[in-house]
Amino acid sequence: MSAEKLPPLLIVEDDSALQKQLKWSLDRFESVLADDVASAVLQFRRHSPAVVTMDLGLPPDADSVSEGFKCLEKLIELDPGVKVIVLTGQNDQANALRAIRMGAYDFMAKPVDPDVLGLTVERAFRLYELQRENRRLLMAQQSDALGGVISRDPGMQRICRTIEKVAQTDATVLLLGESGTGKELLAQGLHDASKRKGRFVAINCAAIPENLLETELFGHEKGAFTGASKTTVGKIETAHGGTLMLDEIGDLPMSLQAKLLRFLQERVIERVGGRQEIAIDVRIVGATHQDLKKHIAEGRFREDLYYRLAEIVVDIPPLRERMGDAVLLAHAFLRRFAAEQRRPALVLAEDAIRAIEAHAWPGNVREMQNLIKRASIMADGDRVTADDLGLRAADAQGGAEALSSLDLRTVRERAERQAVVAALARADGSIVKAAELLGVSRPTLYDLMSRLQIK
């Protein structure tokens, strides 16, 4: 096992003598105890165990398995990655298989051989540790490559690969997409993946009055105008050696478009009121939600500037067109904001998931962030509902995608991809839960993911 301390083992058993026996035989593991559903959930939330051993017969109805299955469902809902080992009767294979379908890691028939149980628990801890390390490495890769872009949509993954390739060059990039689609996140990712040692600097061309925007971009010399009491460096100069993002570049005034074009051609600037040419090494990333070609036709944007900016053009799809990403992002944002609010047990309720899938997300990822953050504060219990999100619960997903092809193989592959991606998003990446939602075995789901090239 790794040097980092692993979470403890939770033993759920209502027979006090057997509880002590299990604790004694598994004394090489740090363990906590519970004897019913309520105490198991309490201990789980308090200690976040990696592995659980549990009897299906729990009070107040120890003669049936209803409480055991209720406990199993709650624990896996709290952490789909937990390894639950179910202890069953000798002739209880049907319930054992049901437990595996629900997400249990393994089952053992009673009376349990302590040595075999110890080996099973140790194997479960090793698997938990391996999966935790894989998640850590995956998150590190995502963060290092593209600033934490989260997506399983094939189109977004192609965009991420494009950004990674472009990052190794000095090409000027133009990001196109609706407001809130993550243009600045991609620009930051482009900078982080490059070899540039300077800063990433962003400026919103629509948020600064025209009479101030020139000095914001190019800086000014002392005495250049009334109130210019000192020399000020502009954003372009600040980004020397790094990346400058010009957000909402479609709103750049025509007078500044000419000056920006000269900079892109000659890579030198003059501060307002100055005469000295200053050489600048910076990558420019333009971004806009507007149709620049329409602006060109209407005489509001320079065609020569457009082609200087558009060495690489990246069209970012809106969230409603990104297959499965809405629920995937919702899970990720909820984990982040719940941790900030010190509410790590928060999960999305089923009606919230349906509402997220049905919502059109006109504000895209930014709207998603705002709703999830609000819900993480306002939710009364441990489940975020559609009401907490301020969305209407949907009875069914509406509007099937129009078929662009009648070829059955193409249609079937598209439908399979949509179903698998949606199931993985709903299950928050848990293969066990996704397979259960799809009604297939785990090996079948792995085969599907491999064939459809879903990572």
Which of 209-223, 226-240, 421-435 shows the lowest mean pLDDT across its residues?
421-435
Question: For 279, phi and psi rounded to 5 degrees?
Answer: -75, 135
- The residue to which tokens 């439908």 are assigned: 415
**Domain 154-317 fold:** Rossmann fold (3.40.50)
Structure tokens, 56: 């299906």
- For residue 143, is pLDDT > 60? no
Structure tokens, 115: 């040595």
Average pLDDT over residues 174-197: 93
* Domain residue limits, the chain: 9-139, 154-317, 320-451
Residue 247: which H helix or E strand, with range?
strand 243-247
Q: What is the CATH number of domain 320-451?
A: 1.10.8.60
Q: What is the pLDDT of residues 388-431, one digit of tens each?
A: 999 876 543 333 343 444 456 666 777 787 788 888 878 877 88
In the chain, the N- to C-terminal Cα span, in Å, equals 27
Contact in structure between 76 and 35 (CB atoms under 8 Å): no
Pairwise pLDDT comparison (73 vs 443), residue with the higher score: 73
Structure tokens, 42: 């309490």
Neighbours of 308 (CB within 10 A): 18
Instruction: Tell me what pLDDT residue 399 has.
Output: 35
Q: What is the pLDDT of residues 43-91, one digit of tens each?
A: 998 888 999 999 988 888 878 888 999 999 999 888 888 899 998 876 6
Helical pair 325-340 and 408-426, crossing angle rounded to 10 deg: 10
* Nearest one of 389, 387, 411 to 400, comparing CA atoms: 411
CA distances from 20 to 119, 359, 373 (A): 19, 51, 43
Contact in structure between 346 and 384 (CB atoms under 8 Å): yes
Structure tokens, 195: 């070899």
Residue-wise burial string across 337-369, b where 16 or more C-beta atoms lie within 10 A, e elsewhere: bbeeeeeeebbbbebbbbbbbbbebebbbebbb
Longest dimension (CA), the chain: 91
Q: How far apart, in whole angstroms, are the C-alpha atoms of residue 113 and residue 111?
A: 7
* Nearest one of 132, 106, 134, 110 to 121, comparing CA atoms: 106
Helical pair 114-146 and 183-193, crossing angle rounded to 10 deg: 90
CATH topology of 9-139 equal to that of 154-317? yes
Q: What is the pLDDT of residues 273-311, one digit of tens each?
A: 888 999 999 999 999 999 999 999 999 999 999 999 999
Give the right CATH number for 9-139 from 2.40.50.100, 3.40.50.2300, 3.20.20.70, 3.40.50.1010: 3.40.50.2300
